[in-house]
Chain A
Amino acid sequence: MNETVFSAPVSPVGEPVRIDISQLEKSLRRPRSAFSFVLSVLVGLMTITALVPLFSVIFMLLVRGGKKLSMSALTELPPSAFELGGGFGNAIAGTVIMVGIAALISVPVGIIAAVFLAEVAPESRLAKVVRMCAKLMTDFPSILAGVFAYGAVVLITGGFSAAAGGIALSILMLPTVMLTAEEAIRMVPSKIREAALGMGATQVQTVWMVLLPTAFPGILTGIMLAVARAAGETAPLLFTALFSNYWLASDGKIDLMQPTASLAVLIYNFSAMPFENQVELAWAAALVLVLMVLTVNLTGQALSRNRTE
Chain B
Amino acid sequence: MSLAPQCSLNSVSNGDKDGVVIDCDVRELYYGKFKAVRDTRIAIERGKITAFIGPSGCGKSTVLRCLNRMNDLVRGFRFEGQVCFQGTDIYHNSIDPVAVRRYIGMVFQQPNPFAMSIFRNVAFGLKLNGYKGDKAERVENALRRAALWDEVKDKLHDSGLSLSGGQQQRLCIARAIATQPQVLLMDEPCSALDPIATRRIEDLMLELKQNFTIVIVTHNLQQAQRVADKTGFLYVDTTQGGRTGYLVEYGETRQIFEDPVEKYTQDYISGRFS
Contact = CB atoms under 8 A, between A and B. Distances in A.
Q: Do A and B bind each other?
A: yes
A253 interface: no
B231 interface: no
B179 A199 contact: yes
Nearest to B73: A197
A42 interface: no
B114 A214 contact: yes
Interface in A178-205: 189, 191-192, 194-202, 205
Contacts of A194: 70, 73, 108, 112
Contacts of A199: 101-102, 105-106, 124-125, 128, 175-176, 179
Given A198-B68, A199-B101, A201-B128, A192 B114 contact: yes
Nearest to B178: A199
Contacts of B99: 200
Given A198-B68, A200-B103, 20 more contacts: A195-B108, A195-B112, A195-B114, A195-B175, A196-B124, A197-B70, A198-B105, A198-B108, A199-B102, A199-B106, A199-B124, A199-B176, A199-B179, A200-B100, A200-B102, A200-B128, A200-B179, A201-B98, A308-B115, A309-B159
In the complex, which range does the number of interface residues on chain A fall in?
10 to 19
A201 B113 CA distance: 15
A214 B160 CA distance: 13
Contacts of B159: 308-309
The 6 A-B residue pairs whose C-beta atoms are closest, nearest first, are A200-B102, A200-B101, A198-B106, A195-B112, A191-B112, A199-B125
A200 B125 CA distance: 8
B112 A209 contact: no
Contacts of A308: 115, 159
Contact of B116 (A191, A200, A213): A213
Contacts of B205: none
Interface string B96-133: 00111111011010101111100000001101110000
Interface SS, A side: helix
A210 interface: yes
Contacts of A205: 128
B183 interface: no
A205 B125 CA distance: 11
B172 interface: yes
Interface in A213-258: 213-214
Contacts of A213: 115-116
Interface string B30-70: 00000000000000000000000000000000000000101
A209 B128 CA distance: 9
Nearest to B176: A199
A202 B98 CA distance: 6
Contacts of B175: 195, 199
A297 B128 CA distance: 34
A204 B112 CA distance: 20
Contact of B115 (A197, A200, A202, A214): A214
21 contacts: A191-B108, A191-B112, A192-B112, A195-B175, A196-B114, A197-B73, A198-B108, A198-B176, A199-B124, A199-B179, A200-B100, A200-B101, A200-B103, A200-B125, A200-B179, A210-B114, A213-B115, A214-B114, A214-B115, A308-B115, A308-B159
A201 B96 CA distance: 12
Nearest to B181: A200
B215 to A, nearest CB: 13
B144 to A, nearest CB: 20
B170 to A, nearest CB: 14
A209 B108 contact: no
Contacts of A189: 112
Q: Which of A189, A192, A199, A213 has the most CB of B within 10 A?
A: A199
A238 B106 CA distance: 58
A195 B169 CA distance: 12
Contacts of B124: 196, 199, 209
Contacts of B129: 200
B3 to A, nearest CB: 20
